[in-house]
Structure formats: C-alpha cells, structure tokens
Amino acid sequence: MGTDRTGEPLRVGVLASGSGTNLQALLDTVHGEEALIVGVAADKPGAVALERARDAGIESAVFPLGEHPDRAARDSAIAQWLLERDVEVVVLAGYMALLTSPFLHRFPGAVLNIHPSLLPAFPGVRAIEQAIDYGVKIFGVTVHFVEDDGGIDTGPVILQGCIELANADDPATVHAQLRPLEHALLPEAVRLIARGALSRDPQNPRRVVVAQ
C-alpha cells in the first residue's frame, strides 16, 4: 500500500468457493487494465468460478481440504501455488473457508475480502440472516483487509456501501440487491491498491486512508 505503481498491472490471485460473480466483476472491469488476474483457486471442485477462469484463459486449480493433512497444509499449498505465479494481492471473492496463519503470513497486508454487511456489524457466516433477524433497515457491503489477528472479518475497512431496505425478510432477495454494490466496490478496491492510493493512518493502523 501507498507505493506508486506505474507500468506493470497489479498481479492478482483470486480465491473462490461458488458461483464467482465477484470474480466476473473483476474480469469485466480491472482485468487487463489496472490489474491482471493470474490465477484462480477454489476449495470446491464444482465451483462455477473455475469455469469463469477457464473461459477467460486464466490458470485455475482446486485444493479440496480432504486432499491435505489439515487446513494449514492446504493453505500453504494454495499460497505456494499463488506465489509461483508472482501474485502480489489475493482477493477473496466468495471464498467460504477461513484462512490460517501459514497463508496470511505469505501475503501480509495483501489479502482482501468482501463481506455482505457493514462491518463491524454482523461478521462471520450468515451475515445477511443476522442483519434481518436484528431488524436492521440499512444493509451493506464491506471490502476489508484480512489479517492474522485472531478475529473473523476484523481487518481494516477499505470501502463500504449501503442500501436502505426497510422491510427486508428474505436473505436471497437482500443479497441480490447487494450484488451491484459488491461488483462495484471490489474492483474499486483493487484499483486503489494498483494506484498505490491506500495507506494506513500512522495514528491508527486500523484506519485505511484513501489518497485523493
């Protein structure tokens, strides 16, 4: 962060578990422009994200947990695969497995996640269901850094967006209405990193400052 990046595009690796709509948003916006997606890894063989990668001519690989002794070993294998492709930033685009220290230590300050709530509210799984149960009227999306701090969805916030849904009661409907925010915010976060426009506030390292 905070380094002027001119010339070569940012080399990005993407982790995904499912349909890969956020991967597609990256492919449709920043790929080949500010960034270059050089590898897509999934934890599930049937992840549609893998098909999106293949259709775009991007290398892909599957790392099922059952093929490794434990999560740490699996994460180390994924990290090594990404490093072999000179990945600079890792984007979690609907990746549903928690990353362990062996992975995060290989990419310090360079792992992004997108979460369907306005963090720090409703971290973890079933965020939209949590928000509906709580009766919130404003739903949102957060792009944040993932750090090895022992928490879940606790890393510094990069970007947020929200919409008002006063009487929401169906998680699928809410998520469908949040997707345009996801598809706008995640590429924008990658653009900011590619431009070297993000830095940490020296007075508060949890606060990410965006250069104007």
Active-site positions?
115
SS3 sequence of 119-168:
CCCCCCCCHHHHHHHHCCCEEEEEEEECCCCCCCCCCCEEEEEEEECCCC
Write out the two tokens for 39: 């590898």
Q: How far is CA 128 from the centre of its chain?
A: 17
- The residue with tokens 């578990």 is 17
Q: N- to C-terminal Cα distance for the chain?
A: 14
State the Cα–Cα distance between residues 131 and 67, nearest whole angstrom. 35
Number of H helices, E strands in the chain: 6, 9
CA distances from 192 to 16, 196, 199, 210 (A): 21, 6, 10, 8
**Strand 60-62 versus strand 89-92 pairing type:** unpaired
Inter-residue contact 186 to 160 (CB < 8 Å): no
